[in-house]
Amino acid sequence: MRPILTVIGKGLHLPFRIITSQMEIIRTVAGLRSSVEALKNEGKTVGLVPTMGALHKGHLSLVERARAANDAVVVSVFVNPTQFNNKKDLETYPRTEEADARLLQEAGTDIMFAPEAEEVYPEPDTRVFDLGPVAEVMEGAMRPGHFNGVAQIVSRLFDMVRPTRAYFGEKDFQQIAVIRRMVELEGFNLEIVECPICRHDDGLAMSSRNVRLTPAQREIAPAIHRTLKSSVEKAETLTLAETRKYVVDELNSMPHMKVEYYEIVDPLTMQPIDSWEAPHNRPAVGCVTCYCGEVRLIDNIKYNK
């Protein structure tokens, strides 16, 4: 009989074998490939949810979507070093593997893939993706190399799992465009599923980074979503430039808050636009990155004009 929960490969934080429920924790690429192949040999469709762990309800909503549409669900939990352009950010990124495993198990995940960096990158990944204009603005401009690192890890995961569908949250709105571009470049045959942002009751977008906010910062942080929402009302009468300025000035006037950028972009090209008419037949999207103390938070909103 299949052990109820199996850990394949060396486990740093979890004992080698825990019997609790039907989820495999796999730490090796070979183990992942062979378990996924077994699922596919049974004719099963596979949904992949790539994550960097420190899981919250937002991640679990992706798992739920994947569960509903696929026969099996693989969740990767890997803090990918190649996408961090800031060493301190990589070091301080929250890591909560045991809690993640529990949550994924409860959410009905079939495989949690939690490798060490050496397993994913036995050699340095020197690939440079031609991600084009979608990766050059906003996060691409502020975090050099970040999107290339995202393309490296996501392409590796897609290659290991060859999923039927892969799930990404719309909080990282630009990231989805970059991943679509990588999929086009690499010719992967899969569906990218975009899932809505999950928010706390006070409107703050769920993020693994929120745990680093002090109580005072946590209290002020929901102002990001509040301001974006009120900018949608203001946009009824304001020009795009005025709306943009409203968001930046409003957030910068609050304690702890410092806007890094606020751009209103065409959702297909990610290019900033200068009039509401610019993206034809699709709503413009406002994308903000705002420091709350030392914590870098991102969010976005659609302007249905």
Chain residues that interact with ligand PAF, rule: CB under 6 A: 50-52, 80, 83, 150, 153-154, 172, 175
* Residue 159 burial (CB count, 10 A): 12
Cα–Cα distance measured from residue 301 to residue 296, given in angstroms and rounded to the nearest whole number: 17
Looking at the Cβ atoms of 182 and 247, the one nearer to ligand PAF is 182
Looking at the Cβ atoms of 83 and 217, the one nearer to ligand PAF is 83
Q: Cβ 145 to ligand PAF, closest distance in Å?
A: 13
Cα–Cα distance measured from residue 199 to residue 205, given in angstroms and rounded to the nearest whole number: 4
Residue given tokens 């972009």 in the structure block: 265
- Burial call 228-244: b when 16+ CB within 10 Å, e when fewer: beebbeebeeeebeebb
Beta strands at 295-303 and 23-26: parallel, antiparallel or unpaired? unpaired
Beta strands at 23-26 and 5-8: parallel, antiparallel or unpaired? parallel
Looking at the Cβ atoms of 72 and 153, the one nearer to ligand PAF is 153
Strand partners, 289: 261, 298
CB 59 within 8 A of CB 147: no
Sheet-wide strand order for 23-26:
5-8, 23-26, 111-113, 72-77, 46-51, 165-169, 191-195
Looking at the Cβ atoms of 125 and 172, the one nearer to ligand PAF is 172
Q: Cβ 219 to ligand PAF, closest distance in Å?
A: 25
Q: Cβ 52 to ligand PAF, closest distance in Å?
A: 4
Looking at the Cβ atoms of 235 and 295, the one nearer to ligand PAF is 295
Q: Cβ 152 to ligand PAF, closest distance in Å?
A: 9
Q: Cβ 180 to ligand PAF, closest distance in Å?
A: 13
Known catalytic residues?
59
Looking at the Cβ atoms of 169 and 279, the one nearer to ligand PAF is 169
Cα–Cα distance measured from residue 287 to residue 271, given in angstroms and rounded to the nearest whole number: 11
Q: Cβ 266 to ligand PAF, closest distance in Å?
A: 22
Written as six digits, the tokens of 260 are: 């890094």
- Torsion sign (Cα): 211, 214, 216, 220: negative
Cα–Cα distance measured from residue 85 to residue 142, given in angstroms and rounded to the nearest whole number: 10
Cα 272 from chain centre: 22
